[in-house]
Amino acid sequence: MNKVTAVILDWAGTTVDFGSFAPTQIFVEAFRQAFGVAITLEEARVPMGLGKWQHIEALGKLPSVAARWREALGRDMTSADIDAIYAAFMPLQIAKVVDFAASIDGVNDVVAALRLQGIKIGSCSGYPRAVMEALAPAAAHHGYTPDYWVATDDLAAGGRPGPWMALQNVIALGVDSVTHCVKVDDALPGIAEGRNAGMWTVGLAVSGNEFGATPQEYQRMSAQEVATRRQRAADKLLSAGAHYVVDTLTDLPAVIDQINQRLARGERP
């Protein structure tokens, strides 16, 4: 069958947690708790999509954070420091993630519609397994259960932006070709993951990390602010290699129709 047979979905900002707030807020708290160093929510968003240890490492390399770190501790961040922040992060994240487990509006309906087309629903996350073991059943309680999920620390090869979690979905779901897969993500490393795996990639410009607003904040925004923030997010996702950029997962079925037409013409990602 020369058509899409699987979609591989990210979690926070894609299927649950509109605005991707569960991880970002906890990074701010973990830095404060472990070392008394302040980081902003905007800084916490910059490396979103990476595994969480790697995310902390990347935060420590941001010039603004690195300067504040040196001012507070008189030295650069070390691997031991990253371990300490990660140790503070994990229990906070496990406790908090269940509060952000509700499906984003329209997600459950889209997943049901895709399954009616015979499309398998895979997933992967920048969350480690300990967090996913809390999030997955909580999301199921709200009606979202993918056919498979893999966490960023499950594979020896590593996480994003490498292709390994996406390819593990291909293996687990029994998909015949990566060219028949669509990777959907709201963060740049997740788009790179899909491209590195040889898949079609779809970025979400409004529901996720790059837009960075709660549903309530989004609803209150002026049309001009929405357009500005949407364009800024779309530009970043396209620069990361997204084949398509849409607002939320509710727009995915129309994109899959377009990809199926391209596959029928012999096109590949």
Residue 200: enclosing H or E segment and its boundaries? strand 200-204
Q: Which fold has domain 21-99?
A: DNA polymerase; domain 1 (1.10.150)
- Enumerate the domain spans of the chain: 6-20+104-264, 21-99
Is residue 1 over pLDDT 90?
Answer: no
pLDDT at 108: 98
Catalytic residue among 17, 52, 153, 236: 52
The span from the CA of 161 to the CA of 191, in Å, is 8
Is 236 noted as a catalytic residue in this protein? no
Is 10 noted as a catalytic residue in this protein? yes
Residue 238, C-beta contacts closer than 8 angstroms, at least 6 positions apart: 203, 245
Architecture of the domain spanning 6-20+104-264: 3-Layer(aba) Sandwich (3.40)
Residue 204: enclosing H or E segment and its boundaries? strand 200-204
Q: CA nearest 93: which of 185, 29, 10?
A: 29
Residue 166, C-beta contacts closer than 8 angstroms, at least 6 positions apart: 8, 122, 124, 181, 183, 193, 194, 196, 197, 199
Tokens of 35: 């070392």
pLDDT band with cut points at 50, 70 and 90 for residue 173? very high
pLDDT at 253: 98
Percent with pLDDT over 90 in the chain: 99
Catalytic residue among 10, 153, 185, 186: 10
Q: Pairing mode, if any, of strands 181-185 and 120-123?
A: unpaired
Fold match, 6-20+104-264 / 21-99: no
Region 46-67 average pLDDT: 96
Q: What is the pLDDT of residues 209-245, one digit of tens each?
A: 999 999 999 999 999 999 999 999 999 999 999 999 9
